[in-house]
Amino acid sequence: MRYEITGTPLPVATCYLANGESIKTQQGAMSWMSPNMEMSTNAGGGLGKMFSRALSGESMFQNVYTARGGEGMIAMASAFPGDIKAINVSAMPIVAQKSAFMASEAGVNMEIFFQKKIGAGFFGGEGFIMQKFTGQGIVFLEFDGSIVEKQLAPGEVMLIDTGCLAAMEATCSIDIQMVSGVKNVLFGGEGFFNTRVTGPGKVWLQSMPVSSLATAIRPYIPTGS
């Protein structure tokens, strides 16, 4: 499969598939495609997989597009101003925020990732349930705002504002850390907790989570009389 990601702030991932090659997508992800792309909707592994996708913020069914009679093309547009990242999970599983999945090659598997620490689930901003991607191939993930990548050394720690952790390699661990100082908590505007990620591994940080955007524009939305 060949692919290109173009456009900003609403990018498009365009994939070119060889004859017989398939790609799995989230329901409604397809924006345009060549006429030789054959679509099939299925449960993607039975009831267990269906409910796993639902719990992780995705639709219960998935679409599979297969190129027939030659090379095919399919394009998927972002649903929110942000970025699309193509990540190869063959060498390292990836853990991502809920609803990040857009599409993947056929050899990629998606499963639920449960936060093991209660505090991180309640206060870390990512929730108890995240998405974990394993297997062979490329997964396309949709993130909010601009994306910054950081490589953490073994034992290296990064403190991240609530909701700004988009994804991380599975070798990283996640926890929370309370903001120190009463005045900092009450008047600093950063909340009570930060997400604490410890390496080794790569992390993907997003500049504008949907929740932050909603808070920013709420004062400008007219209210009913």
Q: What is the band of 189 on the pLDDT scale with cuts at 50, 70, 90?
A: very low
Question: What SS3 state is found at 172?
Answer: coil
Query: Which residues make Cβ contacts (< 8 Å) with residue 105, sequence separation at least 6?
Result: 1, 22, 23, 24, 136, 137, 138, 139
List the strands of the sheet with 37-42, edge to edge.
37-42, 62-67, 22-26, 101-105, 138-144, 82-88
Question: What SS3 state is found at 10?
Answer: coil
8 Å CB contact between 146 and 177:
no
Q: What is the band of 191 on the pLDDT scale with cuts at 50, 70, 90?
A: low
Q: What is the band of 83 on the pLDDT scale with cuts at 50, 70, 90?
A: very high
pLDDT at position 121 is 44
Q: What is the pLDDT of residues 99-154, one digit of tens each?
A: 899 999 999 998 888 765 544 444 444 555 889 999 999 999 999 999 999 999 99
Q: Mind giving me the DSSP string for 34-69?
A: -TTEEEEEE-SSSHHHHHHHHHTTS-SSEEEEEE-S
CATH 3.40.190.10 for domain 2-213: no
For the entire predicted model, the pTM comes to 0.82
Q: For residue 148, give the nearest of 131, 161, 130 by alpha carbon.
A: 161
User: Residue ranges per domain, the chain?
Assistant: 2-213
